[in-house]
Amino acid sequence: MKTRQLGTSGLEVSELGFGCMGLSHGYGPATNENEAIALLRKAYDLGVTFFDTAEVYGQGANEQLVGKAFHGVRANVILATKFGFQNGRNTDGLNSRPERIRQVAENSLRYLQTDYIDLFYQHRVDPQVPVEDVAGTVQELIAEGKVRHFGMSEAGGHSIRRAHAVQPVAALQSEYSMFWREPEREILPLLEELGIGFVPFSPLGKGFLTGKMQADTEFDKGDWRNVLPRFSKENRAANQALVDLVTRIAASRNATPAQVALAWLLAQKPWIVPIPGTTNTTRLEENIGGVDLTLREEELATIKQALESINLQGERYPASLADLQGK
């Protein structure tokens, strides 16, 4: 697999990463540990070197999986994790106070079985803590050799600029796909200006862009899509036009909708590195196949024109999850 540079930070990663969250958190029961580790090693064998986790994904359980999977090949992978929630639970509110950042860093180093974190993200901007203090704390961790690069997640432009002035931000991780294009308005131009890489999470629209989800699809009771307005049965039916578009292009290229969705993201900027997640080896292989699909200019133009005419229905998050939205 080819590699990409995340902005001008010097951080080089595989052009497709792996989002580890779903192995432990968010989409129903956790994957069996041995199966999860085998899947992560399979991704590595197929060329993926960039793996994304976080304290909040099972209160360290996900980080421990990643640590076990790559203990023997640590020098060959880029491990990203995150801080920013009180007690490691997103239900307990935000906490990016310097002492909490340091506590999470120490926990993550232990869970990941490593002596350095390649990319340490602030998971969400904490309005109670000046972002300069956050960036300064990570800067200290970098000076101590415990962290190599600073990242932010779902941050707004003002916060990014303020943090970047203290400690250069290597990468921003936020949701971006054909299903959620809000970053195109302000964030992508800002990242290009500042030389910051972009790591889209949910690049397949939380599964919607795979074409395998129908209006009547039932989610596991532990699946957080049950509370997301955009995934109500009515909105899934209304947004089917987007899936139909991707499916048509996929059929013309002997590809899958998921591969088209990933190829579209990769075509947007050379410093964009999507991190699709899966618990399934077949889906993993399918996703990796997306890096071999280069969309033609006319196909990209067709997609652009269609996206401008499709009015997607449903909010990304309910009001009760307002702290998950960028500020």
Strands (E), the chain: 3-5, 12-14, 18-19, 50-52, 78-83, 117-122, 147-153, 169-175, 197-201
Decide: residue 10, CB within 10 A, 0-12 exposed, 13-18 middle, 19+ buried: exposed
Q: Among 165, 158, 113, which residue's Cα sits nearest to residue 139? A: 165
Rounded to whole angstroms, the Cα distance separating 286 from 281 reads 9
Tokens describing residue 214: 């129908």
Q: Among 245, 262, 257, which residue's Cα sits nearest to residue 201? A: 262
**How many CA atoms within 13 Å lie on the side-chain side of 257?**
21
**Distance of alpha carbon 272 from the chain centroid:** 11
Residue found under tokens 């991707």: 246
Beta bridge mates, 120? 81, 150
Q: Among 170, 206, 173, which residue's Cα sits nearest to residue 187? A: 173
Residue 297 three-state SS: helix
Q: Are 85 and 321 in contact (CB under 8 A)?
A: no
Q: Among 168, 128, 129, 130, which residue's Cα sits nearest to residue 152? A: 168
Does residue 121 carry a catalytic annotation? no
Q: Are 78 and 50 in contact (CB under 8 A)?
A: yes
Catalytic residue among 27, 57, 121, 176: 57
Residues with a catalytic annotation lie at: 57
